[in-house]
Amino acid sequence: MTRVTFAAALVLMPAALLAETLTPSLGYTGAPTDHGGQNCSTCHTGLPLNDPSGSLTVTVSNYVPSVQQLIKIVVQNRSGTIFGFQMTIREESNETLSSGTFSIPNPALPEQVVCDNGTQYGSPAPCTGSMPRQFAEHLNAPRAPTGTAYEFDVLWTPPSQEIGRLDVYVSAVAGNGDGTPLGDYVYTSMQTISNVGNCALVGTPFFQTVLNGASFQPGFSSGSMVSIYGSAFETSGYQRIAGAGDYVNGAYPTELGCVSVEVTGPGITQPVPIPIAYASPGQINAQMPQFSGTGPVTLTVVLNPGSGHDIDSAVATLNTLQLFAPAFFVFPSSTSIAAEEAGTGSIVADPSVVAGASPAKPGDIVSLFGTGFGDAGSPVVAAGQIATGQAFLTNPITVTIGSTTLAESDILYAGLSPGSISGLYQFNVRIPAGAPSGEVPVTISIGGFQTQAGATIPIQ
């Protein structure tokens, strides 16, 4: 049986190699969300990756939205006679998504653009919304005299609007042409590019109101998440969600999608830009800075900040700054608190609210999430920064589930949510043994303020 299988493998190998020479298997550029970041060395084995006897040079520039550029991929090795490559460009904020569109500058070139349709080799471009990953690659791998560098040229058109930093992944092969995957040199490249196009939003932003970012009710505090409402903040139909590709020195950006928000307040006499997590035409989600006490706060929405053609909203004066503004985040279209089983990530909710979720049980330890609970950690984690570990609340809290006020021993953690923006707080609490079944109200009180009425968790 072993001999038959081995013989069959020998028969099939040339066909498989021929297929890869014609058009490579998709997803071997080194992009981390494709096959765990594998590259061409998965198949072409036996020699060191990125061996110094050759090289891969990828010439790509920072992007201007919608402005096409020519990307040059040059691979060479002194023993190479046959060449191949595969490239993809991904959003740093979501590495599963390709960015922009590829095209081939000359149909006579041995290159193609392929869409990830779930099959091994994909399908020809154009790529639709159901096929979010796009690759440029060789077509019928070209040959060249031994030791000659080979250049692949690909046209790339960036997206029409700024979407943060992008990662360019390329894997290339300089093969010896002996018909086997042994003795071929593999090279990889990853470059990060940024937007350099001028922001060009038009119109005047109109400010309407600021609400607590969790309860969507009036009232905010130092460091709390807020939702700013109005109009003409962004181009119609466009929205931006901050992701890892937008972070600046490990913190959320103060400009997102060509929009910023500046505030003054107690202890802040000159306008400062605040961290932004989301921007759309009618809403901006942001985090307030650390104020010293309470008093009036001014707020201005700025389009195209720092571009020389900034457009400011009218300055708004807010009188809703509180010492604390505690509130739970809730799942959309519900009063169900954003919660999960502590340590597992399993969502606590009725399945009709969140598919696949389940209610908590008496005795369970659950994590509840909110904002507006004041200082945490020593020193306090600055607005926009990511909490790298536990940072306990400075002030005491009272937690009530149903009619039961929890003992301190049943509040296992109260502070910033590790790994999240510093405006997000986490509370690990034990569900009382005698808790009733159903949607049970939960409140947290701090400094004379209390979370919104009507927020619940399901218990069964």
* Predicted confidence (pLDDT) per residue in 190-245, tens digit: 999 988 877 889 999 999 999 999 999 999 999 999 999 999 999 888 889 998 88
CA distance 79 to 173: 11
* Predicted confidence (pLDDT) per residue in 281-300, tens digit: 999 999 999 999 999 999 99
What average pLDDT does this structure show over 381-387?
A: 96
pLDDT at 330: 98
Residue 1 has pLDDT above 60, yes or no: no
Task: Pick the range with the lowest mean pLDDT from 68-77, 195-204, 345-354, 400-409.
Answer: 195-204
Residue 162 has pLDDT above 90, yes or no: no
- pLDDT category, 34, cuts 50, 70, 90? very high
Instruction: State in words which class domain 206-322 has.
Output: mainly beta
CA distance 184 to 176: 6
CA distance 368 to 336: 10
pLDDT at 237: 87
Selection from 55, 11, 47, 27 nearest residue 176 by Cα? 47
Options 3.40.630.10, 2.60.40.10, 3.40.50.720, 1.20.58.1880; CATH for 20-193 is 2.60.40.10
pLDDT at 10: 34
Q: Which long-range contacts (CB under 8 A, 24 or more apart) does 235-241 make?
A: 235/161, 235/201, 235/281, 236/281, 237/281, 238/161, 238/280, 238/281, 239/278, 239/279, 239/280, 239/281, 240/163, 240/164, 240/278, 240/279, 240/280, 241/93, 241/277, 241/278
What average pLDDT does this structure show over 303-331?
A: 95
CA distance 317 to 49: 60
What rounded mean pLDDT belongs to the chain?
A: 92
Cα dihedral sign for 103, 71, 131, 174? Answer: positive
Cα dihedral sign for 403, 408, 412, 414? Answer: positive
* Predicted confidence (pLDDT) per residue in 121-152, tens digit: 999 998 877 777 999 999 999 999 998 899 99
**Residue 254 Cα to chain centre, angstroms:** 16
Task: Give whole-number Cα distances, 36 to 12, 33, 39, 88, 137, in Å.
Answer: 26, 6, 9, 15, 19
101-103 and 150-157 as β-strands: parallel, antiparallel, unpaired?
A: antiparallel
**Residues near 416 by Cβ (< 8 Å), separated by ≥ 6?**
376, 377, 381, 387, 390, 391, 422, 424, 425, 426
Residues of the chain within CATH 2.60.40.10 domain(s) are 20-193, 206-322
Work out the percent of the chain whose per-residue pLDDT is above 70: 96
What average pLDDT does this structure show over 36-51?
A: 94
pLDDT at 16: 47
The DSSP string of 82-111 is EEEEEEEEEETTEEEEE-SEEE-S-TTSSE
Tokens of 396: 């005491």
pLDDT at 356: 95
pLDDT at 281: 97
Residue 14 has pLDDT above 60, yes or no: no
Tokens of 75: 């691979």
Rounded to the nearest 10°, the torsion over CA 228, 233, 234, 235 is 140
* Predicted confidence (pLDDT) per residue in 100-117, tens digit: 999 999 999 999 999 999
Work out the percent of the chain whose per-residue pLDDT is above 90: 80
**Residue 396 Cα to chain centre, angstroms:** 34
pTM of the model: 0.77
Residue 341 has pLDDT above 50, yes or no: yes
pLDDT at 19: 57
